[in-house]
Structure 1
């Protein structure tokens, strides 16, 4: 039903432009709705660089870890989002027994099936290393306590949380089915998952993420800094003026 409504809107003679949040979405609009390429424009979402920033005080990192009973010395990968299945949490949990070094997976977000995911982690004997934190109002603080973000989604038009993690100075693992993957710097493209339901590949990408050099955090921040909300507003206003 939604597709039918959207199709009618895209066929309207009054349509001037369709704005996509990524080329991944733009290509889908052209393919699924037959939109003319010159009527579709990509404007990437922005990120709040003041809110999402690397930790300035080591005690901030330690306090968050203590809150969720995560060892100070452990590697911590954070997953943030609602709709756990679509965002690939199940694939991460299945891969976690293959992750060496006693790394922890910190899951932030809400899902009606959260208990099912927790039980699966227990059945795989990694329940002690998969922490379900529930919804958190200050996710920026969670990023400052983590070493990386992982979100091997089955489908994500953009993936704001990935850009927010990068702005926080974290290397990120995402899937090629996320629009934000287009913006990942070359040094982190080895962390992109081609087949999210391939547990072996997810584990392989996680291993590469753990082996990433420390300098990638600064590169992640530098990449995110190119995509501010001011840039977004300027591009949107320029588009409006061009068709006004």
Structure 2
């Protein structure tokens, strides 16, 4: 099939949604003709045709989103069997939803005057009006359109925001690859220029605040001095957090590595992953860490989509309240101080990851592609 993929930032370092798009294209490119339409890309998948989409200015983001939607609509109106969008666009037979709908954030569980106030807020904001219109277009019922959520919890939120979509939203969770040949912990630390000795906790996120770095830094104050924290992700917020680290007296124990296109070295260098996210529709980083045999401490099901599939003490240690720094420190201390517990988490986590391959996800998408193309 000739498939157009719409993803504004097509790069593994862009974030979870971007990594999802890249990994899926990588899996499909061996048996389909894939064309990627993006404003930013380091062209991470060989054998794919890349189309650079016009970008007047990244800010304001809502205007750029409209211009991106118009440009990709014009470029993909014909010549493709399927158009697969990972963005807020009105076109695309396949619409993959990666984050909680704006309509859910604004209106769910609100009624009466509170709901009216929210509508007034939307009406007075060109930005919110634009996002609402684009989002509504993604969920508009059509025989040729398939909407996909990346987790079961996100599917429920989509159906709560758009009741007419009930029963029509598919769930295709992220996949992963379990690597066979990995560097040793010492080799990985040497390549990343991290301390050879001591225990390392890994934190991976582009949005440091939303993914729980504040609570994790507080937890570090309760942990022994030989335990260090490695922060990987968009370095935009790093200066603010470096200042915070110094104020907390944690200087020398926190290492900021910035963005990495390949996280394998970081997983191999660490002793455990901490992901105390406040909100995550799935959390691919947790699945990838498990695939590398890394024990995981992660927020519970109310805050993180993947945790709905995990059993406490088996595949991971679950944190009920991601803001509870003391409890977070206890869980991290348990993993790093109990070799039997760590081995158990590694074993069960690896088995969980092996059941969630990108090939499985690609086959599910191919079924949707065929259904959409037959009605196109």
Normalising by structure 2, report the TM-score: 0.58
Q: Tell me by how many angstroms 1:89 deviates.
A: 1.2
The answer to whether 1:46 aligns with 2:171 is no
Matches within 5 A, 1:229-244: 229-241=358-370, 244=374
Partner of 1:100: 224
More deviation in 208-217 or 100-109?
208-217
C-alpha distance in 1 between matches for 2:371 and 2:312: 33
Q: CA RMSD in A?
A: 2.3
Partner of 1:29: 158
Partner of 2:293: 169
C-alpha distance in 2 between matches for 1:101 and 1:35: 54
Q: 1:227 aligns with which of 335, 342, 356?
A: 356
Structure 1: unaligned runs, 5 residues or longer: none
Note the alpha carbon deviations across 1:104-138, whole angstroms, 9 max, x for none. 11111223221111121222222221111222233
C-alpha distance in 2 between matches for 1:126 and 1:206: 17
Matches within 5 A, 1:57-136: 58=184, 61-66=185-190, 67-72=192-197, 74-100=198-224, 102-136=226-260
The answer to whether 1:208 aligns with 2:334 is yes
**Quick check: 2:155–2:169 contact (8 Å CA) kept in 1?**
yes
CA distance change for structure 1 residues 138 and 203 in 2, over 3 Å: closer, same or farther? same
Q: 2:346 aligns with which of 182, 196, 217?
A: 217
Matches within 5 A, 1:6-25: 6-14=135-143, 16-25=145-154
Q: Tell me by how many angstroms 1:192 deviates.
A: 1.8
Give the aligned length: 238
Q: Tell me by how many angstroms 1:19 deviates.
A: 0.8
**Quick check: 2:310–2:316 contact (8 Å CA) kept in 1?**
no
C-alpha distance in 1 between matches for 2:295 and 2:181: 12
Structure 2: unaligned runs, 5 residues or longer: 1-127
The answer to whether 1:138 aligns with 2:267 is no
Q: Tell me by how many angstroms 1:232 deviates.
A: 0.6
C-alpha distance in 2 between matches for 1:163 and 1:189: 10
C-alpha distance in 2 between matches for 1:148 and 1:115: 25
**Quick check: 1:106–1:131 contact (8 Å CA) kept in 2?**
yes
More deviation in 124-133 or 182-191?
182-191
Partner of 1:155: 279
Q: 1:184 aligns with which of 293, 310, 318?
A: 310
Q: Tell me by how many angstroms 1:7 deviates.
A: 2.0
Normalising by structure 1, report the TM-score: 0.86
CA distance change for structure 1 residues 173 and 17 in 2, over 3 Å: closer, same or farther? same
C-alpha distance in 2 between matches for 1:203 and 1:185: 20
The higher-RCO structure (CA 8 Å, 6+ apart) is: 1
CA distance change for structure 1 residues 133 and 218 in 2, over 3 Å: closer, same or farther? same
